[in-house]
Structure 1
Amino acid sequence: MLSRTAALLLATALTVAGCSSSSDDPAPASSGTPTPSPAASETPYLPVPAGVELTPPGSQLSVGDHAVVAYRPRQEQVGALDIQVTALEKTSIDDFSAWQLSDEQKKSNPFYVRARIENVGDTDLGGRPVPLYVVNDQNVLLEPTPFASSFDACPSTPFPEKFGPGDKANVCLVYLAPKHGDLVSVSFRPEETFNPITWTGDVVKYEPPKPKKSEKGKKGNKKSNGG
């Protein structure tokens, strides 16, 4: 019988492919105006299907806003996604008491990032990691923390096994900010030279969903009241 305590796969502060050698790197590059003019987005930075209009790199968005992005999950593939970051939540490290944490992870602050994502490209992205990071208060990119088995509060899993054109998914990703750090923004930055698209907003306390009353219990109450 497997032990109830599963192994938490290590995922700590990430320096993304040469991005974190400097603490200044994750910050969006200044280009004069915060958002490029519509003309700047007429030529997409990657080939996407007709009718897909990409959000300009460097855009600074709020929680609830959509961004249409493109990236290369593999060298010969281009994926296109409509991403809506819907919630930023702070939780307690006590939520992970059933997991084996390293000493460093025990000193982290855990956050949940929730998003709705639609595949608006023509590539099946099934099983691929969700391309979202967070930036902490040390201006370092953090990657999501995956789990070796189910974590109901926030599964933090890749896309479903099949995630083809037109498919949609509600995702929740776990991030562990080292040294009791904070979450500053959510970042789409698929590679080093990309000027990131970021989302910011209020970080709220995670509230576990209230248990639902069973239909069986409701029926039982109706019968007893009618007796």
Structure 2
Amino acid sequence: MTHARGPLFIAAVATAGLLLSACGSETGGTATPATDTTTSTSTATTTKETSASKEAPAVPAGGDVTAPGTKLKVGTRAVIPVTVGDKTGIVAVTVTAIEAGAKEDLAKFGDKAKNITPFYLRAKVENLSGTDLSFTSIGLRGLGEDGKGTGVIISGDTPKCDSTNAPRTFKAAGETYETCVLSAAQDGSKVAAAEYNRGDDYVKSPVVWQS
């Protein structure tokens, strides 16, 4: 199983694979972005070849691309064009559940997890374009009941939430995989929605799944 872990910035917890930061606002201080960014490096190509590789394939029949800013219910799929490095294609993303975890799930992280409750964003991803999207990942971010960030940045896995990349077989139309993105909120608050905000069109107008 291939794991998709976010960047770690606290040396004390680097080996644990978790970053926690409780803050009043996600735009203040030195808080790191809540959305992970995956980058990859490919061998040099000509400008013409690079341009061609970035062109998204045609949307499969019956699969109109979901418009930026669309709000969906949990369990509804969104059709999204993706470009990760030199890999380009179209996937269907379905947030299948937003679950509160037990505080004990974060016990091994000690005081850094104090006053924080984990939430699990579970998703299913399907390859619609039939292009090679192996080892790519999706980025989901948890939102509070007010539709804004929860004020907690968290990255990593727990025994109940295993974040994975697409498998090496994710190259054909109809291939699927499931993943879980770890989110969190301060005690007394909750994660009530999940957003997808990758790609130029979705950064300012994310697709949002509401519970």
Structure 1 CA distance, aligned partners of 2:133 and 2:110?
Answer: 32
Decide whether the 8 Å contact of 1:64 with 1:84 is kept in 2: yes
Q: Which residue number in structure 1 is paired with residue 194 of structure 2?
A: 186
Contiguous gaps of at least 5 residues in structure 1: 1-5, 15-19, 27-45, 202-227
Alignment of 1:150-165 (within 5 A): 151-165=158-172
Decide whether the 8 Å contact of 2:103 with 2:118 is kept in 1: yes
Q: Which residue number in structure 1 is paired with residue 177 of structure 2?
A: 169
| Residue 69 (structure 2) pairs with residue 58 (structure 1) | yes
Q: Which residue number in structure 1 is paired with residue 138 of structure 2?
A: 130
Decide whether the 8 Å contact of 2:184 with 2:191 is kept in 1: no
Structure 2 CA distance, aligned partners of 1:126 and 1:176?
Answer: 28
Number of aligned residue pairs: give it: 163
Q: List per-residue Cα deviations over 1:41-96 (Å, max 9, x = no partner).
A: xxxxx72334242011111000111110112212x332321111111110112023
Cα offset, 1:9, TM superposition: 1.4
Q: List per-residue Cα deviations over 1:12-34 (Å, max 9, x = no partner).
A: 469xxxxx548xxx9xxxxxxxx
Q: Which residue number in structure 2 is paired with residue 113 of structure 1?
A: 121
Secondary structure of the corresponding residue to residue 103 of structure 1: helix
Cα offset, 1:196, TM superposition: 0.6
Contiguous gaps of at least 5 residues in structure 2: 1-13, 29-33, 35-54
Decide whether the 8 Å contact of 2:98 with 2:192 is kept in 1: no
Structure 1 CA distance, aligned partners of 2:21 and 2:194?
Answer: 14
User: Share of identical aligned residues, percent?
Assistant: 23
Q: Match for 1:73 among 77, 80, 84? A: 84
Q: Structure 2: which amino acid aligns with 1:72?
A: T
RMSD, aligned CA: 3.1
With normalisation by structure 1, the TM-score equals: 0.60
Cα offset, 1:102, TM superposition: 5.4
Structure 2 CA distance, aligned partners of 1:108 and 1:79?
Answer: 37
Decide whether the 8 Å contact of 1:119 with 1:165 is kept in 2: yes
With normalisation by structure 2, the TM-score equals: 0.64
Q: Which residue number in structure 1 is paired with residue 58 of structure 2?
A: 49
Decide whether the 8 Å contact of 2:196 with 2:208 is kept in 1: yes
Structure 1 CA distance, aligned partners of 2:179 and 2:130?
Answer: 20
Cα offset, 1:127, TM superposition: 2.3
- Flag the 1:61–1:13 CA change in 2: closer, same or farther, 3 A: farther
Stretches of 4+ aligned residues off by more than 6 angstroms: 141-144
- Flag the 1:136–1:7 CA change in 2: closer, same or farther, 3 A: farther
Q: List per-residue Cα deviations over 1:169-214 (Å, max 9, x = no partner).
A: 122222133566421311011046521110001xxxxxxxxxxxxx
Q: Match for 2:210 among 189, 200, 204? A: 200
Structure 1 CA distance, aligned partners of 2:132 and 2:115?
Answer: 38
